[in-house]
């Protein structure tokens, strides 16, 4: 058995994470030569949208009793020029700047950005909250606050994988995984990566490392952990920096899940650690461990059991495009198609990793087409339900790092590996729509609207021949 002396790497806890990674105030903007502020949000298709406000007008906005900008109620439901079912052009919501996220856009000189939270312009009824229940950032904030009330805090770190393409959509470099040749001194790829990392660090986002990935033109940036809402916000800023800095070098960055059939795809793995605060209102914990793994706490085991049970039914939020399912296959280090976990096993959808006493879960079935706020709401939400219920961990890991799909059916049954991921986006939507826990976590109104948007998006992305559809995917993501 491992001992504490085997511990390695940086140890993170909620206490070691400073109050916020975004320390900027509006008074700092002029000194930083900022002239414009972007109020940003990500819609249900994971498109980053914004309203750009001159600094003087932004200062005046903040001086209002209720700062906010009116946005049409189709804000989450527009796909190209079409409106998804369940949305209407009548009425407006209010997007309110969340000043804790104010940050300089080092990829866009003269600009700063701030993430928004959506509210009703008027309360639906006198006693109702102004918060809009279907706002992705608001949903994740709710999950985070509910977990804190139950004595649980999360830290989340996201890996961002992407591919750099030239003007002819050819990869900028072809070399093996982690090779120095892919980031040669003086190369455009090396310049882009260095500029991106510098921009992120100057914005207050901790970057732990970057390196070349296996696919042609593919790279990865690994961010340090933050609380869930801040981690999702950091992903938005990271992708904006990558897109824009690549464009400044006349390159295209794409987060498309898989664009080369003979190589691996791009993911957005989430590293999640759980921290028990001892809140007296904490839910019941399961009895002592009955699973062969002795490294996890009762809280972690309950979270993991519920997560493994429900990853297939939240795939519509974490793998939201048809292209997503070309990446998540068996035997390709993408997590495979059976919902299971394994210690340091990259063929499991949930990998238990880290050193003794400071381990965490890597959830591998997320990619860059997913709205990070929605994906984390789903993952943390279904995991917390297992904690609320005090679930026992009954699913065991495959022995010796084996691939679940390679096991005999009777072996899988004995290990409790009985759930399989959907193999198409349509199957994913059907599974999400039928699962009561998903409805409980995400909300019925959100679920209906999201599914209609997702269906319309899928239809638009996949129009025409396969080559045309791939170009549209790259252009969109």
Show Cβ contacts of residue 429 under 8 Å, excluding neighbours closer than 6 positions: 316, 451, 454, 455
Check: CB of residue 170 under 8 Å from CB of residue 471: no
Residue 281 counted as domain residue? yes
Tell me the C-alpha distance between 350 and 271, whole Å.
Answer: 10
Residue 384 counted as domain residue? yes
Residue 4 counted as domain residue? no
pTM: 0.93
Tell me the C-alpha distance between 398 and 266, whole Å.
Answer: 25
Check: CB of residue 186 under 8 Å from CB of residue 230: no
Same domain, 273 and 419: yes
CATH number for position 61: 3.10.20.70
Residue 2 counted as domain residue? no
Same domain, 449 and 317: yes
* pLDDT < 70 stretches in the chain: 1-5, 18-22, 279-294, 331-335, 356
Give the end of a domain, one of 74, 107, 132.
Answer: 132
Residue 16 counted as domain residue? no
Instruction: Give how many domains the chain has, as a whole number.
Output: 2
Q: How many CB atoms lie within 10 A of CB 234?
A: 28
Same domain, 195 and 317: yes
Residue 17 counted as domain residue? no
Check: CB of residue 150 under 8 Å from CB of residue 299: no
Same domain, 126 and 154: no
Q: How far is CA 227 from the centre of its chain?
A: 12
Residue 279 counted as domain residue? yes
CATH number for position 167: 3.30.590.10
Same domain, 279 and 308: yes
Same domain, 77 and 205: no
Same domain, 120 and 250: no
Q: What is the pLDDT of residue 18?
A: 61
Same domain, 247 and 342: yes
Q: How many CB atoms lie within 10 A of CB 64?
A: 8
Same domain, 118 and 158: no
CA proximity to 209, closest of 195, 189, 223: 223
CA proximity to 266, closest of 469, 473, 422, 429: 473
Look up the domain containing 284 and give its range. Answer: 144-476
Same domain, 291 and 325: yes
State whether residue 106 is helix, strand or coil.
Answer: coil
Q: What is the pLDDT of residue 284?
A: 54
Give the end of a domain, one of 89, 108, 132.
Answer: 132
Give the end of a domain, one of 132, 153, 169.
Answer: 132
Same domain, 96 and 128: yes
Same domain, 184 and 100: no
> In the chain, how long is the greatest CA-to-CA distance?
68
Alpha-carbon Rg for the chain in angstroms: 22
């Amino acid at each position: 058995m491992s001992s504490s002396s085997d511990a390695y790497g940086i140890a993170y806890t909620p206490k070691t994470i400073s109050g916020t990674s975004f320390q900027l105030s509006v008074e700092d903007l002029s000194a930083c030569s900022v002239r414009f502020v972007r109020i940003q949000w990500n819609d249900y298709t994971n498109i980053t949208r914004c309203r750009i406000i001159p600094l003087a007008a932004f200062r005046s906005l903040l001086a209002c009793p209720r700062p906010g900008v009116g946005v049409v109620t189709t804000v989450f439901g527009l796909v190209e020029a079409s409106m998804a079912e369940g949305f209407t052009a009548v009425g407006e919501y209010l997007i309110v700047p969340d000043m804790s996220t104010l940050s300089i856009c080092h990829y866009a000189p003269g600009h700063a950005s701030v993430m928004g939270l959506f509210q009703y312009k008027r309360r639906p009824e006198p006693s109702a909250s102004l918060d809009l229940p279907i706002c992705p950032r608001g949903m994740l904030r709710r999950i985070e606050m509910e977990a804190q009330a139950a004595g649980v805090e999360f830290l989340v770190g996201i890996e961002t994988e992407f591919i750099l393409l030239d003007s002819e959509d050819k990869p900028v470099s072809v070399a093996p995984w982690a090779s120095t040749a892919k980031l040669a001194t003086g190369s455009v790829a090396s310049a882009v990566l260095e500029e991106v990392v510098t921009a992120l660090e100057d914005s207050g986002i901790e970057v732990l490392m970057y390196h070349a990935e296996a696919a042609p033109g593919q790279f990865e940036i690994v961010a340090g952990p933050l609380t869930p809402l801040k981690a999702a916000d950091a992903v938005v800023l990271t992708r904006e920096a990558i897109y824009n800095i690549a464009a400044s070098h006349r390159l295209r960055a794409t987060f498309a899940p898989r664009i080369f059939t003979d190589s691996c795809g791009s993911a957005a793995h989430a590293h999640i650690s759980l921290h028990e605060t001892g809140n007296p209102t904490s839910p019941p914990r399961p009895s002592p461990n009955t699973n062969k793994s002795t490294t996890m706490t009762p809280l972690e085991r309950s979270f993991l059991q519920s997560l493994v049970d429900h990853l297939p039914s939240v795939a519509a939020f974490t793998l939201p495009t048809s292209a997503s399912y070309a990446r998540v296959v068996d035997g390709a280090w993408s997590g495979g198609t059976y919902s299971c976990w394994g210690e340091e096993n990259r063929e499991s959808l949930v990998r238990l990793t880290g050193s003794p006493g400071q381990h965490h879960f890597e959830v591998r079935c997320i990619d860059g087409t997913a709205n990070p706020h929605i994906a984390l709401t789903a993952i943390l939400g279904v995991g917390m339900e297992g904690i609320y219920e005090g679930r026992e961990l009954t699913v065991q890991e495959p022995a010796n790092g084996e691939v679940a799909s390679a096991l005999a059916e009777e072996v899988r049954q004995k290990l409790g590996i009985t759930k399989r991921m959907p193999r198409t986006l349509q199957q994913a939507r059907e599974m999400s729509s039928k699962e009561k826990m998903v409805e409980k976590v995400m909300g019925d109104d959100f679920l209906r609207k999201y599914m209609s948007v997702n269906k319309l998006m899928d239809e638009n992305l996949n129009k025409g021949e396969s080559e045309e559809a791939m170009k549209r995917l790259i252009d969109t993501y």
